[in-house]
Amino acid sequence: MINDTKERLIFRRLIAGIYDFFLMLGVWFVIGSLFLILNSREILHPYFGLLITFLSAWLFFGYFWARSGQTLGMSVWKIKLVPLDGDRITKTASFIRLLANCLTLLSLGSLLLYSFIDKDGLTIADRASKTKIIKI
């Protein structure tokens, strides 16, 4: 049983991330199909495909974070992204946060453990983007 607040928040982040990953798979499938059709059904250069993948993820997450602070996965698990300074989430903040989250994914989530030593309980993605995840 998970009792600690930080542990519960990390658990919610991970599960919400899984929800959002499956949504992103659908978005990537549609965008990839469109680019394949536009490219005369020839496979795109891998670097161009990676760029499209990242940009579409940035547009997806940036839109939802700026609009309501929540993606569908975040709303299901009752967490929200808020800026540390009280303003709206900026494009720059969403870009930095997505980049930091990609690094967290590459580290198999181990970068989330930083929140246990941070005095405010923030992760590296939170610190880098000047945002934080709160429970609502």
* 51 has pLDDT over 60: yes
Residues 12 and 93: their CA atoms lie apart, in Å, by: 21
**The pLDDT value given to residue 3:** 41
The tens digit of pLDDT for each residue in 57-113 reads 999 999 999 999 999 999 999 999 999 987 889 999 999 999 999 999 899 888 888
DSSP assignment of 1-48: ---SHHHHHHHHHHHHHHHHHHHHHHHHHHHHHHHHHHTTTPPPPHHH
**The pLDDT value given to residue 88:** 87
C-alpha atoms less than 13 angstroms from C-alpha of 116 in its C-beta half-sphere: 8
**The pLDDT value given to residue 25:** 96
